[in-house]
Amino acid sequence: MRGFDLVVIGGGLLGCFAARNLCRRQLHIALIEAREDVCTGVSRANTAIVYPGYDHKPGTLKAEMTVRANARFAELCAELDVPFSRCGSLMLSCGEKADAVLREKYKNGLSMAVPGLRLLSGEEARELEPSLTAGVTSALYAPTAGTVNPWELGIAAVENAAANGAELFLNNRVLGIRKTAEGYRIETDREVFACRAVLNCAGLYADRVQELLFPSEVHIVPDGADYLILDRAAANKPTHIIQYEPEDGGKGFNAVPTVEGSLLLGPSERANELDFAVSERGIDFVRERAAFVLPGLDLGELIRSFAAVRPNPRREDGSSIGSFVIENPAPGFWSMIGIKTPGLTCADELGRFAAEKAAAFLNAGPNERFDPRRRGIKKARGMSWEQRAAAVRSDPDYGEVVCCCEDITKAEVLEAIRRGATTLDAVKRRTGACMGRCQGSRCQQKLLALLARELGVPEDAVTKDGAGSEVLGGGRHED
C-alpha cells in the first residue's frame, strides 16, 4: 500500500491544477487517473475560451474566479510555457431581445470591473470584424477574452506538479474508497493508496466517485455537444472570438481562432448523452449557425469534427445548479462536481481554492522549493531559419519533419514520448502532429514506428488511445 498526504482522483484540468497548487505546500501528493493519459475527458473537448467574466452573477464565486483567472492567465501561461492568445471577443446580437441580454451582460461586467468592455453598434462590430453577418444589431466587445489549447495547459500543469514532487498514477481506476482511522483508503483496479485527505476531480463521474463513500447531493446529467474545425487556410476567418446570442434565447454559437491558427466552431447541444461520438444533427446545427453568423466563411475548409460531453450538475429534484459545486461531505474529503464552463478558465483558481482548503485541514506549511516554471517541448514551427539551424546543430532530429502539415519534427515526437506519451493520441496532444490538414494520413505511420521503437513493442501493439474505459463499471466512456 502506498501512503500520501493527499490523493487527487482524476487527471483532467481540475485534477492537474489541483495537484500543481497542492505542491506549493509541504505535502506528498498522488494524482490517480483511470486512463492512459491526462486530459482525455471533458478537458480534451471544449470551446477553449478564456472568458473575461461578464457572464456570471456578480458576487458569486464563479464570477469572481473568472475575472481573477482571466487577469492572471498570461502570467500562468508564461510560467507553464503554453501559448495563449488574448484575441478579444465579440458577442453579437441580431435583434432587440438579444440586444437587451448584451446590455445586461455589459452591466454585469462593469460591476465586476471586467477591463475594457464596450457595447458596439452593428456597424462598429463589422468594422472590427468585416466577415460578420449584416444582421448584427449590437455587440459586446471584451478585449481580455482569449484562447488556449486546453489539453496543452493541463499537460503542462501536471508536468510542473510532477517536477515539484507529485506522483502520477495513470491507468488506475478508483473503484472503492473507505474511511480509516488515519484518513482514507483508496482502491483502484491496480493498487491501494492510503491518505489523510482526498480531492475528487473525476469530471463526468465525480458524483459517482463521491458515492463510493458518501451520498452526493448533486448529480451529473450529461449532454452532448458537437464541434467543427476549419483549416488555418480557410478564407474570411475572424480574428476575434465570435459569440452569438440568438434572438429566440436558444443555443448560442462560438467561432474561436485557436492558438494553432485553425478555427473552432460550435458547440451544439444534445440532451442526456454520455457519448463522445459526433452526431449528424449536431454538425448540421453548427454549420447552419456558422453560415448565418459568418456568411463569407469557407466551410469547405473543414478538417475535423469532434464531440464533447457536458457534466451538468443537478439537485435531487432535477433542478440545475448555476454555481461551481465543491462538496465537502466529511473532514478531509472534497469533490468538485459538475464543473463545466468556465472550468478551463478557472482551473488554476479552483486548484488554488481546493489546495488552500486541503492545506488548512492538513496543517501544511508552504513549500519554499516550489518552482512554478515548466519548459514546453521546443517547437520547430515558428522558428527563424537561424533558430532552426541552431536547433538542428544541437539535435539533428530537428532536421527531420515528421508531420508536414503542422511542421512537427522527429525531435519533438521523441521528446513527447520521453515525457510519458505512450499512445498516438498522447503524442498528438503533446506535439500537434496529425492535427493539421491531412489529419495524420501522411504522418500517422511514422509516429507509430517511433512509438513502437521507443517503447520497445511491435507496431501493432501501439494504440491510438486507451480505447475507452469502464469507469466504475457503469456507463461506457469512449473517446
Write out the binding residues for ligand FAD, residues 99-128 only, by CB under 6 A. none
Binding status of residue 225 toward ligand FAD by CB under 6 A = yes
Among 21, 46, 89, 444, binds ligand FAD (CB under 6 A): 46
Cα 116 → chain centroid: 26
Where b means 16+ CB within 10 Å and e means fewer, 324-353 reads: bbbbeeeebbbbbbbbbbbbbbbbbbbbbb
Give the residue, chosen from 19, 32, 114, 451, that forms a contact with ligand FAD under the rule CB under 6 A: 32
Q: Print the binding letters for residues 273-312 with ligand FAD: x by CB under 6 A, - otherwise.
A: -----------------------------------x-x--
Q: How far is the CB of 457 from ligand FAD (least distance, A)?
A: 23
Neighbours of 460 (CB within 10 A): 8
Nearer to ligand FAD, 70 or 409 (CB): 70
471: contact with ligand FAD by CB under 6 A? yes
Residues 148-187 as x/- pattern, contact with ligand FAD by CB under 6 A: -------------------------xx-------------
Among 204, 228, 230, 402, binds ligand FAD (CB under 6 A): 204
Separation of CA 381 from chain center: 23
Q: Are 87 and 240 in contact (CB under 8 A)?
A: yes
Q: Is 29 in the site for ligand FAD (CB under 6 A)?
A: no
Shortest Å, Cβ 348 to ligand FAD: 11
Query: Is the Cβ of residue 262 or residue 444 nearer to ligand FAD in the bound state?
Result: 262
Instruction: Give the list of residues 6+ apart from residue 245 with CB closer than 8 angstroms, or none.
Output: 91, 92, 93, 98, 101, 102, 252
The residue from 6, 7, 14, 65 that contacts ligand FAD (CB under 6 A) is: 14
CB of 342 to ligand FAD, least distance (A): 3
DSSP assignment string, 91-141: EEE-SHHHHHHHHHHHHHHHHTT-TT-EEEEHHHHHHH-TTS-TT--EEEE
Residue in the shown chain whose Cβ atom is closest to ligand FAD: 343
* Closer by beta carbon to ligand FAD, 55 or else 407: 55
Segment contacting ligand FAD by CB under 6 A, of 72-80, 119-127, 240-248, 340-348: 340-348
DSSP code string of 317-353: TS-B--S-EEEEEETTEEEEES--TTTTTTHHHHHHH
Nearest to 45 by CA among 258, 297, 255, 308: 308
Candidates 108, 258, 345, 409; binder of ligand FAD (CB under 6 A) is 345
| Cis? peptide before 329, omega within 30° of 0 | no
Q: How far is the CB of 390 from ligand FAD (least distance, A)?
A: 37
Q: Give the angle subtended at the CA of 17 by the CAs of 16 and 21, to the nearest 5°.
A: 125
Stretch that binds ligand FAD, among 26-34, 235-243, 326-334, 457-465 (CB under 6 A): 26-34
* Sign of the dihedral defined by the CA atoms of residues 30, 36, 40, 41, in that order: negative
CA distance 191 to 197: 17
Residue nearer to ligand FAD on the CB measure, 136 or 225: 225
For the packed helices 410-418 and 444-455, what is the interaxial angle rounded to 10 degrees?
40
Applying CB under 6 A, the site for ligand FAD has a residue count of 41
Question: Regarding beta strands 401-403 and 218-230, do their DSSP bridges make them parallel or antiparallel, or are they unpaired?
Answer: unpaired
Cell of 196: 489523510
CA-wise closest residue to 255 among 347, 382, 133, 94: 133
Residues at the site binding ligand FAD, with contacts judged by CB under 6 A = 9-15, 32-35, 40-43, 46-49, 51, 173-174, 201-205, 209, 225, 267, 308, 310, 339-345, 471-472
